Structure 1
Amino acid sequence: MLLSFIICTGLVALISWLKTRRTRLKTVNDYFLSNRSLGFVLVGSSIFLTNLSGNLLIGENESVYINNMSVMAWGMTSILAMLVVSEFLLPVYLRIGAITTPDFLEHRFDAVTKRIVSIVFLASYAINLIPTILYGGALAMNGIFHVSQHTGWGATTTCCVLIVIIGISGSFYSILGGLRAMSISDTLLGLGMMTGCLLISYYGFNYLGHGNLLAGVRVILHQKKEHLNAIGSATDAVPFSTIFTGMLLMNLYYWGMEQFIVQQALASKNLKECQKGIALACVGKLLAPLILNLPGLIAVHLYPHLDNTREVFPRLISDILPGVFQGFMASIVLGAVFSTFNAGLNSSGTLFIMNIYKPWLDKSGKQKNDEQLVRSSKIFQVLLTLMGCCIAPFIILFKGGFYTYIQMLSGFFTVPVFSVLLVGFLTRRVPPVAVKIGLAFFILTYASVILVFQPPMHYLHVLAILFVLTVAIMLLIGRLFPLKVPYQAEKHPVVDIQPWRYRHWVSALLITLMVLAFVLFSSIGIAGR
């Protein structure tokens, strides 16, 4: 197992190095955006793998084991969100030549708003994204390789050691290779992930059916059918009603405004390739339940009384796959961890250098060339990695499901930024002061509600209510103190922004398949009694 893991991991790293060793990374455009040269396969693979982190592998399978398939809603509704972003938001970013998503806010409001939102992004990555990725990766590697059993270390010690190892080794991709190296490795890992889905399905059903594949399928379809239901009730981790409130908001933000996701799309060679790449990522989301949810379903039947539910996915991989495939799957899981981790580091470096450090240099009258800026970005990424390694072990103290922890904490950052960007996109007279008041109101109120008052309401509904109130406050201020001169969008495209002619037909097909997925996993589908 260990040998196949080393070979597969080393092979991905070697191919990525061979493909990028002659690529110059001396300018910020080269380092952060791969000189805007990515085709749709690289764009789609990067977006999909950046999202498909160890957190999802651990968290969604745990949620299926504890509850049911209702957690699938996060991925399925992402398809609708991605298509909306592809049609309406990305053309705006490419039209103004944006490098970061807050660049739009400088055009729409002012430089201070851009700086504030960039700081919110960086706080989100430092406190939530980077630590949870490292923690999820450590759980997965310990579960597959049984590190704590072989070493005799406690769970916390093992977690800390693996977090440091993953953090240090994973940062090399971003720090040394830039976005292009990450995109190439993501494409290879995407192919590996699809192969892994087939392996898990085959061996999982075979194991469950005691050597009979069809018998294993029948077990899933006819026993404990309540776990097959994707239409969550009010008591489930993801009630179905939340799809139309907080989940919709968070998905639109994530796919259309989250820097470490959007940066993959901004690196495309033109809008057509960008939209095709997003469609490819949507196909990946349709297939994702095979690895994000199916192992959890199988585990329901194999481990009826599992103490540590966060071990569902890695334990299943360790139990059902032959040794050589365990190593292969471990390398894919680690690659998924690296993918999201590196994207978070690279986008953090982009935000810090372009939106905070460089403007400060310009204001101070200091000058640094692109090579010096790239070097500063690498130093910042090293510091961010060290910070993430320090914060990650404390996640073990949270009770209530790893995936729930990730989404609840991200609410502090995602929805307020989404509110600001949405108002910026849809209005022309709301002034910068409204944005600042809106951000402060949302973050302080959400913190009070979740940490102090803790109302008997799902946190996604809380997010939706606060979103409406925040937008209303900004609109009211805009009505009372409107801009004297309405905002007029400027155009500074650096790539061709001609859209993909078949995007509407493909979007209709993808949305139809998304709806059919919910029908399949419902009381009128395979979850029916």
Structure 2
Amino acid sequence: MNIYDQLTSLDFAVVGIYLLILLGIGFWVSFKLKGSKNDNLFLASNSLKWPSIGFTMWGTNVGPSMLIASASIGYTTGIVAGNFAWYAFIFIFLLAVVFAPRYLGAKVQTLPEFMGKRFGNSTQNILAWYTIVTILISWLSLTLFAGGILIQQILNMPMWLSIVLLLTISAFFAMAGGLKAIAFTNVFQMILLIVVSVILTWIAFSELGSLSAIQERIPSNYWNLLLPNDDINYPWIAILLGYPVMGVWFWCTDQSMVQSVLGAKNIKQGQLGANFTGWLKILDVPLFIIPGILCFILFPDLKNPDEAYMTMVTQLLPSGLKGLVMAVLIAALISTIDSALNALSTVFTMDIYVKKMKPEATRNQIVTTGRIVTVVGAFIAILITLAINSIKGLNLFDVFQSVLGFIAPPMSVVFLFGVLWSKTTRRAADSILIFGTLLSLTVGVLFLWIFPKEIYDFWPHFLLLSFYLFVVLSIAIVIISLLDSKNTDTENTLLPVKKVTMTLRAKLLWVLLFIVMLGLYLFFNGN
């Protein structure tokens, strides 16, 4: 089924008009904010309340890339991918009660700064480079990959050309002030995408008639969260052991996810906001995965499951509305790409160039360096994206999770031991961040490209590989710390914890969330 052939001139016109309107809003917002004392809206620190925190964390997590990927995995395996949404509540809770009080107690704005206070400047510098690598891979290249697939489907062009086109559009918006427009309208766009997903699910249910009709037309294991240990896609042991490595990294140590909690009005609002995020994550399955399952029933002959979401859009929505969905997806992708390029430029320019290379740099030199880094970063991202596109045997969702699974172990180990074990030394933390990252990325390259599992079946599941790497690095950090314990290290002290008693309201909400999640797991348990 060719998605391009299902689109009309009206759909493409809607895309163009929508992007032009965004551009116009961008110029208007830029003009209104020019010279304003409040032109940097991100300086309003310690003002976020729990609704803002919850929606920000959830919105950062469930962008268009994850929406397309979730429908893809729902099409191929059913609800089992819901573990990546529902299992997360444990690590969001860990952020609220373990990590956030320590971050706030240290009075830091960034997580590299936190580790700098914990271990010293060398660790902070290494984390700056680590952050650059993760931005390039997890936020920029994977988003470009998902966006390239979308453009491929819409315009029927090669992946490399799709990526270049998406980057060109992003650069045009950034230079013309469009990024402000997209940031200004991002909440509206996410709401629109959620409404569309609800409409798609409702229309598909209407087409199928009843729950019993749906039940009869899909494999029985499509409604199981826990699959047997011999399942080739997602055995329960792989999820149980492997996802926590990714969960700790993503929900507790990734700056993009933690930032809103750090900006909370107080720790109580931060804990309530994290709890609200846990409740919002429940919506991931009905909004993003179930449409993929329904697509499997309605269109069982798709050659490429990554086309599941757009197939539902093009086949079930009227002309014009299809174009609106495409426009919103493209605009939201552009926002993520621009934000990632901006973050990449900022981290390198301020944390490495200004701080280490040239502290006396003038404003013009800083601006020029930032622009050069943006161009170089975009070029490197294209190469990484094309490499990701060459991965065989995995759909979009599995590509996302496997790549992230090989990034996560070093960061999870360093933060867990750095926060919870007072004997962890600077040398141990630095060694894991440097050599542990090289080990994890090397294993990832071997697994995904050089000896792909599609051909070489000696590999365990990628989530188990992530867990094994975590265990090896955990043993290493303990051994290095113990061997290093005789050295005097004045910077090796646990940072203060912001003492706080969780309110009764927060306790009740967390207990209720645990009960609901347990109920969902029991209801969708494997046969």
1:404 partner amino acid: D
5+ residue gaps, structure 1: 149-154, 210-214
- Residue 395 of structure 2: which of 391, 401, 415 is its match? 401
Q: CA deviation at 1:341?
A: 2.9
Cα displacement (A) at 1:497 = 8.7
Pick which of 405-414 and 196-205 moved more: 405-414
Which amino acid counterpart does residue 443 of structure 1 have in structure 2?
A: T
Does residue 417 in structure 1 map to residue 417 in structure 2?
A: no
The 8 Å contact of residues 160 and 386 in structure 2, kept in 1 or not, is answered as yes
Would you say 1:474 and 2:477 are equivalent positions?
yes
Does structure 2 retain, via aligned residues, the 8 Å contact 1:70–1:239? Answer: no
Q: How many residues align?
A: 503
Separation (CA, whole Å) in 1 of partners of 2:181 and 2:510? 29
Asked whether the equivalents of residues 79 and 285 of structure 2 are also in contact (C-alpha less than 8 Å), the reply is no
Which secondary structure state, in structure 1, belongs to the residue aligned with residue 88 of structure 2? helix
Match of 2:377, SS state, is helix
Q: Aligned partners of 1:518, 1:38: CA distance in 2, in Å?
A: 32
Could you tell me which residue of structure 2 aligns to residue 504 of structure 1? 507
Corresponding residue number in structure 1 for 2:64: 54
1:188-218 per-residue CA deviation (whole Å, 9 max, x = no partner) reads 2232233122211112222x32xxxxx1543
Unmatched 5+ stretches in structure 2: 1-10
Distance 1:271 1:58, change over 3 A: same
Name the structure 1 match of 2:221.
Answer: 226
Task: Give the partner amino acid of 1:392.
Answer: T
Distance change >3 Å, CA 237–CA 223, structure 1 → 2? same
CA distance in 1, matches of 2:36, 2:109: 16
Displacement of 1:499 in angstroms is: 6.8
- The structure-2 alpha-carbon separation of the partners of 1:117 and 1:492, relative to structure 1 and needing over 3 Å to count, comes to same
Map of 2:167 onto structure 1: 167
Residue 65 of structure 1 pairs with residue 83 of structure 2: no
- Residue 136 of structure 1: how far off its partner (Å): 0.6
- Matches of 2:349 and 2:473, distance apart in 1: 29
Give RMSD over aligned pairs: 3.6
Query: What is the alpha-carbon distance in structure 2 between the residues aligned to residue 78 and residue 177 of structure 1?
Result: 36
Give 1:428's aligned amino acid. S
Alpha-carbon shift at residue 174 of structure 1 (Å): 7.0
Change (3 A) 1:142 1:291: farther
Displacement of 1:419 in angstroms is 0.8
Match of 1:515 in 2: 518
Matched with 1:430 is: 424
Residue of structure 1 equivalent to 2:7: none
When residues 393 and 475 of structure 1 are mapped into structure 2, their CA distance, relative to the original with a 3 A threshold, is: closer
> What do residues 210-234 of structure 1 show as CA deviations (whole Å, max 9, x unaligned)?
xxxxx15433233223322221333
DSSP 3-state at the match of 1:68: helix
Give the share of equivalent positions with the same residue, in percent.
Answer: 21
Shift of 1:248: 0.9
Give the direction of change, closer, same or farther, for the CA distance of 1:510–1:427 in structure 2 (3 Å limit).
same
Does 1:115 find its partner at 2:116?
no
Residue 297 of structure 1: SS of its match in structure 2? helix
SS in structure 2 opposite 1:515?
helix
CA apart distance, 1:120: 1.9
| 1:480, distance to aligned residue in structure 2 (A) | 2.4
Distance 1:351 1:85 in 2: 24
SS in 2 for 1:319: helix
Match runs of 1:349-498 below 5 Å: 349-360=345-356, 364-368=358-362, 376-377=369-370, 380-399=373-392, 400-447=394-441, 449-450=443-444, 451=446, 455-482=458-485, 484=488, 485=490, 487-489=492-494
Tell me the distance in 1 between the aligned counterparts of 2:439 and 2:306.
Answer: 31
Q: Which residue of 1 aligns with 2:4?
A: none
The answer to which of 414-423 and 269-278 deviates more is: 269-278
Instruction: Output the CA distance in 1 between the equivalents of 2:35 and 2:104.
Output: 22
Question: Take 1:47 and 1:510, find their aligned partners in 2: how far apart are those partners?
Answer: 17
1:107 CA drift (Å): 0.8
Q: Indicate how the Cα distance of structure 1 residues 439 and 367 shifts in structure 2: closer, same or farther if over 3 A, else same.
A: closer
TM-score (norm 2): 0.83
Does residue 260 of the first structure (1) align with residue 247 of the second (2)? no
Deviation sequence 1:327-369 (CA, Å, 0-9, x none):
33223323442454344334334432443223115xx551556
Q: How has the CA–CA distance of structure 1 residues 291 and 140 changed in structure 2, closer, same or farther, with 3 Å as cutoff? A: farther
Task: Note the alpha carbon deviations across 1:281-340, whole angstroms, 9 max, x for none.
Answer: 333311112232112101211222221222112122111112233233223323442454
Sort the Cα spacing of 1:55 and 1:194 in 2 relative to 1 into closer, same or farther, 3 A. closer
Per-residue deviation, 1:385: 2.9
Q: Give distance in 2, aligned partners of 1:504 and 1:15.
A: 43
Q: Is the 8 A contact 2:126 2:434 kept in 1?
A: no
* Alpha-carbon distance, 1:491 to partner: 6.6
Q: Which amino acid aligns with 1:105?
A: M
Letter paired with 1:514 = M
Between stretches 399-408 and 375-384, larger displacement belongs to 375-384
Give how far 1:253 is off.
0.7
CA distance in 1 between counterparts of 2:329 and 2:298 reads 22
Q: Distance between the aligned counterparts of 1:446 and 1:462, measured in 2?
A: 9
Tell whether the 8 Å contact from 2:197 to 2:288 is kept in structure 1 after alignment.
Answer: no
Distance in 2 (CA, whole Å) between partners of 1:111 and 1:178 is 37
Query: Any conservation in 1 of the 2:179–2:335 contact (CA below 8 Å)?
Result: no
Are the structure 2 counterparts of residues 447 and 3 from structure 1 closer, same or farther at C-alpha, using a change threshold of 3 Å?
closer
Partner of 2:299: 303
Cα offset, 1:424, TM superposition: 1.0
Residues 250 and 180 of structure 1: CA distance in aligned 2, closer, same or farther (over 3 Å):
farther
Contact 2:26–2:178 at 8 Å: present in 1 too? no
Tell me how far apart the structure 2 counterparts of residues 316 and 231 of structure 1 sit (CA, whole Å). 27
Cα offsets for 1:417-470 (capped at 9, x unmatched): 111111110122322111233334433444555517774421212221221221
CA contact (8 A) 2:140 2:381 kept: yes
What is the rounded CA distance, in whole Å, between the counterparts of 2:133 and 2:39 in structure 1? Answer: 24
Closer, same or farther in 2 for the Cα pair 1:72/1:501, shift >3 Å?
same
Instruction: Give me the whole-angstrom Cα distance separating, in 2, the residues matched to 1:422 and 1:173.
Output: 39
- Comparing 88-97 and 312-321, the one that deviates more: 88-97
The TM-score normalised by the length of structure 1 is: 0.83
State whether residues 58 and 310 of structure 1, in contact with CA within 8 Å, keep that contact through their aligned partners in structure 2: yes
